[in-house]
């Protein structure tokens, strides 16, 4: 009898443990599902043409343990390497960047030709460039524009850039429209593209952020047009430099990175969408990329 009681007790304990694990798994799945539903709802709100960057609907506490926050950043604050390589001015900007990061002049010139060989449609090798025979592989280069920065890193000579400046990826995006949005770009990127000194670029950035020093808040002071941006950078309108920059800079992002941070209980999720349109508040014409992950940034982070 005692053995039977002991066996039954063991079976009950094991069943209880399995049931508890199943309940925990089910609760976790419910949390994940709920977080995804909140994220998709928040994205729908963010993409509504009537929504502005400081709209209170972009940050809400839904209940004691549920909330979401939407952060919109202009992707055009970064440089699109595909677009830079299409024009002489863009190629000059890219080559100067490589040299500023520590790549010698000769190697920077060779790298530029290798980049051009990678994205063009033919298999003719530029002077000191690189095509299939130079990589000794039949599958590269792809002979089309870059679809990711990891593709760009595969180009012969980019190892020098990686060695000289490992953070180079933070300057580029293949989803940017090609015109640098000075209202979104970091001072060092503005300085590199326009040739303005870094102090002038920092002053422009400080003015644009407003008194609270944060992007996407009611006290933001975005520059209304390129002419005002050039004046703040100390570049007289009408000069050859200013005329050349009109094909490189803008004051509005056509591509935007919309990040939704969601918390459901102790679960945190982050969904990031790259959308092409005329900016938040003006509708979206295309979704270019969407990724979901565990939340990396804290609520309230830019």
- Annotate 179-227 with three-state secondary structure: CEECCCCCHHHHHHHHCCCHHHHHHHHHHHHCCCCCCCCCCCCCCCCHH
- The predicted pLDDT at position 5 comes to 63
Please determine, for residue 284, whether its predicted confidence score (pLDDT) is greater than 60.
no
Which residues make beta-bridge pairs with 60?
A: 68
166, 153 Cβ separation under 8 angstroms: no
Please determine, for residue 149, whether its predicted confidence score (pLDDT) is greater than 80.
yes
280, 46 Cβ separation under 8 angstroms: yes
Please determine, for residue 188, whether its predicted confidence score (pLDDT) is greater than 60.
yes
- The predicted pLDDT at position 242 comes to 87
Pick the CATH number of 81-170 from 1.10.1060.10, 1.10.40.60, 3.30.360.10, 3.40.50.10490: 1.10.40.60
168, 144 Cβ separation under 8 angstroms: no
CATH topology of domain 32-79+173-177+253-302: 3.30.1300
SS3 (DSSP) at 177: coil
pLDDT tier at 220, thresholds 50, 70, 90: confident
Mean pLDDT of the chain: 85
Query: What is the pTM (predicted TM-score) of this model?
Result: 0.80
Looking up tokens 């209202």 gives 183
pLDDT digits (tens, 9 = 90+) for 118-143: 999 998 999 899 999 899 888 899 99
Residues 252, 256: Cα–Cα separation, whole Å: 10
Average pLDDT over residues 101-115: 96
All structural domains of the chain with their residue ranges? 32-79+173-177+253-302, 81-170, 188-248
120, 96 Cβ separation under 8 angstroms: no
- The predicted pLDDT at position 76 comes to 94
- The predicted pLDDT at position 23 comes to 46
Which is more confident, 104 or 240? 104
Which tokens sit at 67?
């909330």
């Amino acid at each position: 009898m005692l053995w039977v009681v002991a066996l039954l007790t063991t079976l009950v304990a094991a069943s209880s443990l399995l049931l508890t694990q199943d309940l925990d798994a089910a609760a976790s799945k419910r949390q994940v599902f709920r977080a995804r539903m909140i994220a998709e709802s928040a994205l729908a709100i963010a993409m509504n043409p009537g929504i502005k960057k400081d709209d209170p609907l972009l940050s809400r506490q839904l209940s004691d343990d549920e909330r979401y926050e939407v952060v919109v950043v202009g992707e055009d604050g970064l440089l699109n390497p595909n677009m830079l390589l299409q024009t002489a001015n863009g190629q000059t900007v890219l080559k100067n960047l490589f040299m500023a990061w520590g790549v010698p002049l000769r190697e920077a010139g060779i790298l530029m030709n290798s980049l051009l060989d990678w994205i063009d449609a033919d298999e003719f090798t530029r002077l000191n460039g690189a095509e299939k025979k130079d990589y000794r592989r039949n599958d590269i280069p792809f002979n089309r524009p870059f679809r990711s920065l990891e593709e760009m890193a595969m180009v012969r000579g980019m190892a020098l850039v990686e060695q000289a400046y490992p953070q180079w990826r933070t300057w580029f995006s293949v989803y940017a429209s090609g015109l640098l949005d000075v209202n979104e770009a970091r001072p060092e990127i503005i300085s590199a593209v326009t040739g303005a000194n870094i102090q002038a670029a920092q002053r422009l950035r400080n003015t644009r952020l407003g008194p609270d020093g944060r992007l996407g808040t009611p006290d933001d002071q975005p520059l209304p047009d390129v002419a005002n941006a050039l004046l703040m950078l100390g570049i007289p309108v009408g000069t050859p430099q200013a005329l050349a920059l009109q094909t490189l800079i803008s004051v509005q992002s056509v591509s935007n990175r919309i990040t939704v941070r969601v918390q459901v209980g102790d679960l945190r999720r982050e969904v990031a969408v790259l959308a092409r349109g005329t900016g938040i508040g003006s509708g979206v014409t295309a979704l270019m990329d969407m990724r979901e992950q565990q939340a990396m940034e804290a609520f309230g982070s830019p």
